[in-house]
Structure 1
Amino acid sequence: MRPPFPPQGPHRHGRDRGEHGGGPFPGGPFAAAFAGAGRGFPGRGGGRGRGPGGPGGRGRGADAPPPVDRAEVAGWFTGRLPDDWTTVAPELIVDRDEITVVVTVPEPPTEADETPAAAEAARSGRIARFREDTRARRVEIAEAAQERFGRTVSWGARCGEVTELFTTVSAPVMTRLRQSERLVLDTLVDAGVARSRSDALVWSVRLVGQHADEWLTQLREAMQSVEEVRAQGPKLG
């Protein structure tokens, strides 16, 4: 029996076409490549996968979205979301390809003798109702955000201890591995842990995310502090 992948946390991922902004091909660094399908690939033929910045360009091509100020993103969504959706600021997860917006919705009324299973079902039902009732507005907001920030917008909701993601983006990530690194992936495949090198790489990333969560959180907080200082600029005079 193949060992299971490491669990992905409390989120239950769904997929719903139309809840992303921007049509069938979302924005981000690969939008131009999809739009140019059938007309050749003008970007091929040089650079061996590197962006215009050369070896120091970190692989970001000319179509990669510019960095964003996370405080600006948070402020924009807080101001744009309707007041009757939530009384709590939305949780935002931002990377180069995607902005995930998780809205906290009010919990449903509870009964004194309500079982945990019934309470969880009620919260899931409240999330489902929020998803259906807000679909059109969320698409409108997602399209405006994609135009402003150059990233696909995904949505989710939280009700009590239940969190569900409505839409998520699976973005391709290209990399080159040396033999010793490829052997790690091949070992996982040969042992039946993963079906392919791609699956093995996903498995490895999830495993690191679980066991290095505290360190990754500290790293993100440090990066946020750097962004805030950079945005303030030098104090002259």
Structure 2
Amino acid sequence: MITDEARERVRGWFSGRLPADWQDAPAEISIDRDEIVVTLQIPDVEAGESDAETEEARAGRASAFREETREQRMAIAREAQRRYERTVSWGVTVGGHEELFTHLAAPTMTRLRQPQRQVLDTLVDAGVARSRADALAWCVRLVAQHEDDWLTELRGAMSQVADVRTKGPQA
């Protein structure tokens, strides 16, 4: 469980460490047990004559930013990885276009009974997913999308419990 204080420390460190000219707005920092994902919002491009042209211009801007900042991002990531003992991944948002450059795909083991395996196999057979692992990831994304408010409330409650534990007697 990552406490609110730990999240604030990580956000604060990145806020002080990231170059100001990299961001149109404060970086979005997301943290779990394994990874810190830093998503930078960079200036949007001028709108093209069509939505397709604008989207491609945004993708090109994201790609250029990735190449232009690679060395400096890697140096910041190495520093943060030593400091917080987590992998650091990067992404950008340009207008409505979001792109993750690098991110961790952590294996997760689970035991499923036949009815749950049949759900995954249906998704694979229908071409929604390439494998059971992809189908399970798809299901997790779907639940997160539809249960975001509930999950946010649950994470907040867990964070409060962690904060209360830290204030209690130490063993």
1:56 matched to which residue of 2?
Answer: none
Q: 1:158 aligns with which of 76, 90, 93?
A: 93
1:81 matched to which residue of 2?
Answer: 18
2:61 matched to which residue of 1?
Answer: 126
3-state secondary structure, aligned to 2:82: helix
Match of 1:151, as an amino acid? R
3-state secondary structure, aligned to 2:88: strand
Higher relative contact order (CA 8 A, sep 6+): 1
Question: How high is the sequence identity, in percent, across the aligned residues?
Answer: 47
Note closer, same or farther for the CA distance 1:190–1:220 as it changes in structure 2 (3 Å cut). Answer: closer
C-alpha displacement of 1:91: 0.5
C-alpha displacement of 1:231: 9.6
C-alpha displacement of 1:190: 5.7
Match of 1:183, as an amino acid? P
Q: 184-193 vs 92-101, which deviates more?
A: 184-193
Q: Is the 8 A contact 2:2 2:33 kept in 1?
A: yes
2:150 matched to which residue of 1?
Answer: 215
* 1:89-119 residue CA offsets vs partner (Å, 9 max, x unmatched): 10011111111110000112346xx322222
C-alpha displacement of 1:147: 0.6
**How many angstroms apart in 2 are the aligned matches of 1:90 and 1:155?**
10
Q: Is the 8 A contact 1:189 1:195 kept in 2?
A: no
Gaps of 5+ in 2: none
1:136 matched to which residue of 2?
Answer: 71
2:30 matched to which residue of 1?
Answer: 93
Give yes or no for the alignment of 1:105 onto 2:47.
Answer: no
Structure with higher Rg: it is: 1
C-alpha displacement of 1:157: 0.3
* 1:203-230 residue CA offsets vs partner (Å, 9 max, x unmatched): 3322322322232233334445x27955
Note closer, same or farther for the CA distance 1:227–1:100 as it changes in structure 2 (3 Å cut). Answer: farther
Match of 1:189, as an amino acid? D
1:43 matched to which residue of 2?
Answer: none
**How many angstroms apart in 1 are the aligned matches of 2:84 and 2:161?**
16
Q: Is the 8 A contact 2:33 2:86 kept in 1?
A: yes
Gaps of 5+ in 1: 1-65
**How many angstroms apart in 2 are the aligned matches of 1:198 and 1:141?**
32
3-state secondary structure, aligned to 1:84: helix
3-state secondary structure, aligned to 2:98: strand
Task: State the TM-score, normalized to the length of structure 1.
Answer: 0.59
Note closer, same or farther for the CA distance 1:81–1:228 as it changes in structure 2 (3 Å cut). Answer: farther
